[in-house]
Copies of this chain bind each other. A is one copy, B any other.
Amino acid sequence: MQHGHASDALTKNQALVMGALSEAGGPLSAYTILDRLRDDGLRAPLQVYRALDKLVEFGLVHRLESLNAFVACRHPGCDGHQFTAFMICDDCGSVIEIADNALAGRLKGLAQDADFVLEKSTVELRGLCAGCRPA
Q: Which residues of A contact B (CB under 8 A)?
A: 65-66, 85, 87, 89-90, 96, 98, 100, 102-103, 106-107, 110-111, 114-130, 133
Contact = CB atoms under 8 A, between A and B. Distances in A.
User: How many copies of this chain are found per oligomer?
Assistant: 2
Contacts of A117: 127-128, 133
Given A106-B100, A106-B103, A118 B125 contact: yes
B129 A116 contact: yes
Given A85-B110, A110-B103, A125 B116 contact: yes
Most buried by B among A87, A102, A122: A122
Contacts of A122: 65-66, 122-126
Given A123-B121, A124-B121, A126-B122, A96 B114 contact: yes
Contacts of A98: 110, 114
A124 B86 CA distance: 13
